[in-house]
Amino acid sequence: HLLDSLVALYQNNPSDFHTKIFGNFSLFLFDKNLEKYYFVRDSVGTRPLFILDLPKFVALSNDIEILLKAKLCKTSLNQKALIRYLDKRVNVGLETVYTPIKRFPRSTLGIFEKKTLSFEPYNHYSARVKSTTLKPLNSFKKKLRQAINNSITANDNLGLMLSGVLDSTAIG
């Protein structure tokens, strides 16, 4: 049923179907009549999507290791991106630590047409997003700040490191 719903959504709203999907997803759609490929990544961006845009083809994967192991092209270490990653700088762009593999940004529609790949950022506007995403996030941030403030004493030196999916990505 989900596949039928997505196809119907695209057929009824071909120019902005992707803005009407809420959730955690990466999506690939091919329109045979238009000879157009669509790649969409959700606005939350928790599921990665990596892309190789090469002269003869485009390859996609949610796992960068799959693209590396496939040996579709020569790859090399992107030292600047690696240093930024190790320095814990958030990379919101297209670079990965491997050249020429690119990261597909969140809230992005990719279109592959006539051997050309283009990226178009999009906004997902929904009252549901605000009520289901922002309220719990703001509540979590408030409680985390309270917990930190309650554990700090004036004379102690404090070192704090949060690691993992939930804790480090929720603090923004």
Six-digit token pair at 21?
Answer: 């999907």
Q: What pairs with residue 61 in β-bridges?
A: 50
CA distance 3 to 9: 10
CA distances from 99 to 56, 78, 87, 93, 102 (A): 17, 6, 19, 13, 7
The pLDDT tens digits for 106-161 are 888 999 898 888 889 888 755 454 555 566 777 877 887 777 777 665 555 555 55
Taking residue 82's Cβ as centre, other Cβ atoms within 10 Å add up to: 14
Place of tokens 């606005």: 43
Q: What is the pLDDT of residue 162?
A: 52
Q: Is 2 helix (H, G, I), strand (E, B) or coil?
A: helix
pLDDT value for 168 = 46
Which SS3 state, helix, strand or coil, does residue 18 take? Answer: helix
Average of per-residue pLDDT values in the chain: 79
22-61 pLDDT, tens digit per residue, is: 888 888 899 999 999 998 988 887 788 899 988 888 899 9
Q: Hey, how many other C-beta atoms are within 10 angstroms of the C-beta on 10?
A: 18
User: Would you place residue 65 in the very low, low, confident or very high pLDDT band (cuts 50, 70, 90)?
Assistant: very high
Q: How confident is the model at residue 167 (pLDDT cuts 50, 70, 90)?
A: very low
pLDDT of residue 111: 92
Q: Name the amino acid, one letter, at 22.
A: F
- Number of other CB atoms surrounding residue 127 within 10 Å: 7
